[in-house]
Structure 1
Amino acid sequence: MKKLFQVILMLPWLGAAFAAEPATDTMVDVGSYKLHFHVIKGHGTPILFESGGGDDETVWHDLLPPLADLTQTTLIAYDRPGFGKSGLDTNRHSIKDNLDDLEKGLKALGYDGKLILVAHSLGGFYATLYAARHPDAVQGAVLVDANLVCFFTPEHVAANEQPNEALRMKFKDSRPGLSYLYGEITSTVALMRQTPFPTRIPLIDIVSDKTPFRNDADIQLWKSCHRQFADEANNRQGIVANDAGHYVYKANPALVINAIAKIYAATLPDRERLALLDRALGYNLDAANQARKQQAEYRHSEDDLNDWGYQLMARGEKQRAIDVFKLSVELHPASANVYDSLAESYEALGDKRQAIANYQHSLQLKPSNEHAKERLRVLQTAPN
């Protein structure tokens, strides 16, 4: 199972310059259920974070403290319906319904005015719809390997209908929020085709160098779609996050933080903007030093080998991927994840016996590994 490298920045100089208020967690009644918001209060245009599909607001927690110290503005992350601590209305679960309820929640908290949007993956669709509804309120956006509708061609949608339906049924009882997400993909894409991101809103579009896809056609379509989107307006900047996977803000948090700071700085008067740029200089000096240290620690770590193995699999070099995952198993024998990855590579090669053995070993180390459980169920029930 692919495990993404997570970086935590330590920025002591920022804390000395500005003490951000402690984060607060609030449940907001939006009618038939409650939405959970995680807020760090500050001063200036608030920044709203949209997470990817299947994620909750906790994915932003490492990014928010340094960003709060740098921008000194209000940061808002939340759980979409059916995820994290938020409730769910089983009769209203489309992206439009979700946006209606987000607007209610923001209004109740007093953040229904000007905003900056930051969105990852599926969150790109939510940010697009919000910006289309509030083109004058949204002051800027940063998209992080975000969903853009140009990627979801009719052919792509048709090819994924059956897999999405299988996933909808798989999570129907265990994770209803995720089940509805897969069930709504076709209708969501149809709505997004009618909802362009307003070109008047300045934005930075960051696309991963290592896309979340394994076949060349999807990889090229993802990258070309993002280039096309960035080229549609002069106030858009496209950035390729070199050597970063789908969770760019974990692999390269400094890049994402700087992009957000740049968009936010444009909303400030000259004196405050210069102060922010001065803080950003100090941040970047510290971040560069931390990155050097972390790269040294990361080299040939479990995460590094895991990423390397999946890159080989994506290129069709299955036997070489197995060799890399075997090395990872030798170096990290107590990790359930490395056995899961090795099993996945054996499964891709067609070696059912070795795949089953390694999935079983992964489960022995981590009985809660749902990926291993699901793959074992499929492999053990499939005909020989």
Structure 2
Amino acid sequence: MITPKKMPSRRRSALALLLPAALIGALAACGAPEGSNPPTSTSPAPAAPTTAADPGPVPSAGLHLIDRDGRRLAFHVTPGTSPTIVLDAGGGEDSSSWDSLVPRLSRATGSRVITYDRAGMGASDEVPGAWDPQAAAGDLQAGLRELGVTRDVVLVSHSQAGEVTTYFTRANPGVLAGSVLVDANVPPFFTDDEVRRLVALTTPQIEELEKQPSTKANRQLIATADGFGPTHQAYHRVAWPDDVPVTYVVSEKTPFDGSPQDARRWRDAAAAFVGDGPRRTLVTARGSSHDIPRDAPAVVLEEVEKMTAAAR
């Protein structure tokens, strides 16, 4: 069994970039029973208590199972007005990772808030084969269209979901009013040298995972590693559309806490992404690890509120 404590720090960091949020749970529990997947948000989050400064309880989220080429995709919709806020979780996470932020966003903005489970996560069916961010973007597109959400979207993406958002934004002109990327994977980071290093650092862990009993979590880790090199070399060449405003929230510690050289490359890539086009803003989540939604939720809330207000 692989556990994080047994991994060298650089390999932990590299594997964290593949599926950062899954690292502790999936690797520490490899060989766990098939049914021991992370909890999903199929049940509505409890409403926060009402206070004098609180406008009241948040509407309950409803589960919508969308058919996509014979597969089920789980979308969770909290009613509200336009613009619609869509939250896309990091690698290895399902929609439940946003549960604490959904009621806060709904209350602060009055917007409809949508979370969803990417293929193979939560209540959504798996897709055999390697991770394909363009196919994942197609899943998101299909789900939003089925829900009637075709414009004025503020798309919020953490970590690996940055790849989905980039391809979605390019394939769906006019749909996004803006985006907030939360320590997300962006094209400038994935140079040929960086991709080769990441593949070399993570290959031993992936090979060990392949020897373990097959679980949903393990399969997603392996799928992300399968074809990682070509997938991210292609992603490195993708450009963000200039007409879509975007705020990039970078963590202070980055996914590579403990590896100063890699941490610097991550921060440099974020700065390069913001500098590569107009209408882009860089914000630093001070003191936060890569898991900004949990470490610094107020930063995410503030930036999404700003983007939503600008979209009205």
Is the contact between residue 130 and residue 227 of structure 2 (CA under 8 Å) also seen in structure 1? Answer: no
Which stretch shows the higher mean deviation, 170-179 or 226-235? 170-179
Q: Report matched runs for 1:37-116 at 5 Å.
A: 37-90=75-128, 93-116=131-154
Q: Report matched runs for 1:1-384 at 5 Å.
A: 12-13=50-51, 16-90=54-128, 93-172=131-210, 173-174=214-215, 175-213=218-256, 214-268=258-312
State the distance in 2 between where 1:14 and 1:113 align. Answer: 34
Q: How far has the Cα of 1:112 moved from its partner? A: 3.0
For residue 17 of structure 1, give the secondary structure of its aligned residue in structure 2.
coil
For residue 111 of structure 2, give the secondary structure of its aligned residue in structure 1.
coil
Q: 1:237 to 1:21 in 2, by over 3 A?
A: same
State the distance in 2 between where 1:135 and 1:75 align. Answer: 21
Q: 1:22 to 1:190 in 2, by over 3 A?
A: same
For residue 227 of structure 1, give the secondary structure of its aligned residue in structure 2.
helix
Aligned residues: 265
Q: 1:15 to 1:170 in 2, by over 3 A?
A: farther
The percentage of counterpart residues that share the same residue type is 27
For residue 122 of structure 2, give the secondary structure of its aligned residue in structure 1.
coil
How large is the Cα RMSD of the aligned pairs?
2.5
Please, which runs of 5 or more residues in structure 2 have no aligned partner?
Answer: 6-23, 25-46
Q: Deviations over 1:294-319 (max 9, x none)?
A: xxxxxxxxxxxxxxxxxxxxxxxxxx
Residue identity matched to 1:87:
D
State the distance in 2 between where 1:248 and 1:216 align. Answer: 19
For residue 159 of structure 1, give the secondary structure of its aligned residue in structure 2.
helix
For residue 82 of structure 2, give the secondary structure of its aligned residue in structure 1.
coil
- Show the counterpart of 2:13: none
Is the contact between residue 150 and residue 225 of structure 1 (CA under 8 Å) also seen in structure 2? Answer: yes
Residue identity matched to 1:49:
L
Residue identity matched to 1:179:
I
Q: How far has the Cα of 1:260 moved from its partner? A: 0.2
Q: Give the structure with higher Rg (CA).
A: 1
Q: How far has the Cα of 1:86 moved from its partner? A: 0.8
State the distance in 2 between where 1:154 and 1:63 align. Answer: 36
Q: 1:223 to 1:17 in 2, by over 3 A?
A: same
Q: How far has the Cα of 1:19 moved from its partner? A: 4.1
Q: 1:187 to 1:50 in 2, by over 3 A?
A: farther
Task: Give the structure with the higher percent helix.
Answer: 1
**TM-score computed with the length of structure 1 as normaliser:** 0.64
Please, which runs of 5 or more residues in structure 1 have no aligned partner?
Answer: 4-8, 269-384
Q: How far has the Cα of 1:26 moved from its partner? A: 2.0
Q: How far has the Cα of 1:12 moved from its partner? A: 4.0
**TM-score computed with the length of structure 2 as normaliser:** 0.78
State the distance in 1 between where 2:130 and 2:222 align. Answer: 13
For residue 81 of structure 2, give the secondary structure of its aligned residue in structure 1.
coil
Is the contact between residue 32 and residue 89 of structure 1 (CA under 8 Å) also seen in structure 2? Answer: no
Is the contact between residue 35 and residue 105 of structure 1 (CA under 8 Å) also seen in structure 2? Answer: yes
State the distance in 1 between where 2:274 and 2:250 align. Answer: 10
Q: How far has the Cα of 1:177 moved from its partner? A: 2.4
